[in-house]
């Protein structure tokens, strides 16, 4: 039987959650053939010991740091017609893959995601957990159709499914962007002469977080840095945007502080680009411009559930 779906799980020091992730994958309610690929990114904790307890996992190692590189390694070795990217801190509902694949095949989509729910790892009363879980579950206004607005939504690679042939056509994930690589990949799909992507709340996954307070502070700065690279690569313009997430009043100071860190990271990114523009990023941008100039199919669209939305391009 041919493999229909390849689960690709990138991981790095994921001992707290990788077991839950793999348990949820192997517990999927499926009637099709699938494989599970885990790509380790140089873990130094007990991640590999935990993975070894799952004999049906195909394990690969990627020395280049970043989930973008790990996912590309998974893509290179996948046999499935479709690829499900699942982060190592995500737990899938038992019917996740069946619901999302059915949705993709019914609408002839190139890629789709489900509903990603933030969940507390340990103590839900801890400040950081309460902050994360106070935010509205993704997707809410999941796709901003103003093409050049760099605040656009994206297919969230925490838990999503792509058509394998399409991923190979757009050369997979950026080799430069280690954050916002999912936004970049969504852009690349929307640059194709034809595209159809979608989102359904029927496929549910739960996202945990193990980085702690220092981790989220660091991530905010790094996120800003890679925002600068994304903006430069796609020649994006700033447009007024409103937050898609409700933040409780008791968190607004902390939320604003994270936003400030992200903005500092973005300014630093633009400064670095001015000094030394990465050659690989320039190559990616040049290739993107070529496919962006191809005539577009007027039926390019996105779906939210069964609602068809025409994709605006500029």
Q: Convert the pLDDT of each residue in 36-66 to its tens digit.
A: 999 999 999 999 999 999 999 999 999 999 9
- Read off the tokens for 11: 């991981």
Interatomic CA distance for residues 207 and 215, integer angstroms: 16
Q: Which domain covers residue 130, as residue numbers?
A: 93-310
Interatomic CA distance for residues 179 and 89, integer angstroms: 16
In a domain, 50, yes or no: no
Contact present, 171 and 68 (Cβ < 8 Å): no
What's the pLDDT score for residue 240? 54
Please, which residues bridge with residue 5 across strands? 34, 82
183-217 pLDDT tens trace = 899 888 888 888 788 899 999 999 999 888 999 99
In a domain, 238, yes or no: yes
In a domain, 42, yes or no: no
What's the pLDDT score for residue 146? 44
Angle, CA 105 vertex, CA 299 and CA 205 arms, to 5°: 110
- Read off the tokens for 300: 């390019």
Render 161-222 in DSSP notation, one character per residue.
EEEHHHHHHTTSS-SS-SSSHHHHHHHHHHHSSS-EEEEEEEEEEEE---SHHHHHHHHHHH
Q: State whether the Cα torsion 294-297-303-308 is positive or negative.
A: positive
In a domain, 302, yes or no: yes
H/E element, 82: strand 82-86
In a domain, 154, yes or no: yes
How confident is the prediction along the chain (314 residues), in pLDDT tens digits per residue?
Answer: 788 999 999 999 999 999 999 999 999 999 999 999 999 999 999 999 999 999 999 999 999 999 999 999 999 999 999 999 999 999 999 999 999 999 999 999 999 999 999 999 888 788 888 888 887 666 645 555 444 454 555 788 999 999 999 999 999 999 999 999 998 998 888 888 887 888 999 999 999 998 889 999 999 999 999 999 998 998 877 655 545 455 667 788 898 899 999 999 999 999 999 999 999 999 999 988 888 787 777 767 888 888 887 765 54
Taking the CA of residue 12 as centre, how many other CA atoms within 13 Å lie in the half-sphere pointing to its CB?
Answer: 13
Instruction: Give me the number of domains the chain comprises.
Output: 1
- Read off the tokens for 50: 């935990």
In a domain, 2, yes or no: no
Interatomic CA distance for residues 67 and 69, integer angstroms: 5
Interatomic CA distance for residues 6 and 74, integer angstroms: 9
In a domain, 40, yes or no: no
Interatomic CA distance for residues 196 and 301, integer angstroms: 5
Q: Measured in Å, how far apart are the chain's first and last C-alpha atoms?
A: 43
What's the pLDDT score for residue 251? 86
Q: Is 227 exposed, middle or buried (0-12, 13-18, 19+ CB in 10 A)?
A: buried
In a domain, 8, yes or no: no
């Amino acid at each position: 039987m041919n493999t229909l779906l390849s689960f690709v799980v990138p991981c790095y020091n994921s001992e707290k959650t990788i077991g839950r992730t793999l348990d949820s994958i192997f517990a999927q309610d499926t009637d099709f053939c699938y494989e599970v690929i885990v790509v380790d990114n140089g873990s130094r904790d007990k991640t590999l010991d935990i993975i070894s307890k799952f004999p049906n996992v195909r394990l690969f190692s990627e020395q280049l740091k970043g989930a973008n590189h790990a996912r590309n390694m998974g893509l290179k070795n996948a046999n499935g017609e479709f690829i499900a990217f699942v982060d190592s801190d995500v737990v899938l509902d038992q019917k996740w893959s069946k619901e999302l694949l059915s949705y993709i095949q019914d609408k002839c989509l190139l890629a789709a995601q489900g509903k990603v729910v933030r969940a507390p790892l340990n103590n839900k009363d801890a400040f950081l957990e309460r902050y994360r879980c106070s935010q509205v579950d993704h997707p809410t206004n999941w796709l901003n159709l103003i093409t050049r607005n760099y605040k656009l939504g994206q297919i969230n690679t925490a838990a999503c499914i792509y058509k394998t042939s399409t991923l190979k056509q757009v050369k997979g994930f950026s080799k430069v962007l280690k954050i916002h690589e999912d936004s970049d990949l969504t852009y690349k799909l929307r640059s194709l002469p034809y595209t159809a992507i979608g989102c359904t709340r029927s496929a549910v996954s739960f996202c945990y977080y193990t980085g702690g307070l220092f981790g989220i502070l660091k991530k905010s700065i790094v996120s800003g840095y890679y925002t600068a690279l994304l903006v430069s690569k796609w020649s994006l313009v700033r447009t007024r945007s409103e937050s898609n997430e409700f933040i409780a009043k008791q968190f607004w100071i902390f939320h604003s502080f994270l936003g400030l860190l992200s903005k500092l990271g973005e300014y630093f990114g633009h400064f670095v680009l001015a000094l030394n523009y990465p050659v690989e990023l320039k190559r990616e941008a040049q290739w993107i411009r070529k496919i962006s100039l191809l005539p577009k199919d007027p039926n390019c669209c996105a779906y939210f559930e069964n609602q068809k939305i025409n994709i605006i391009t500029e």
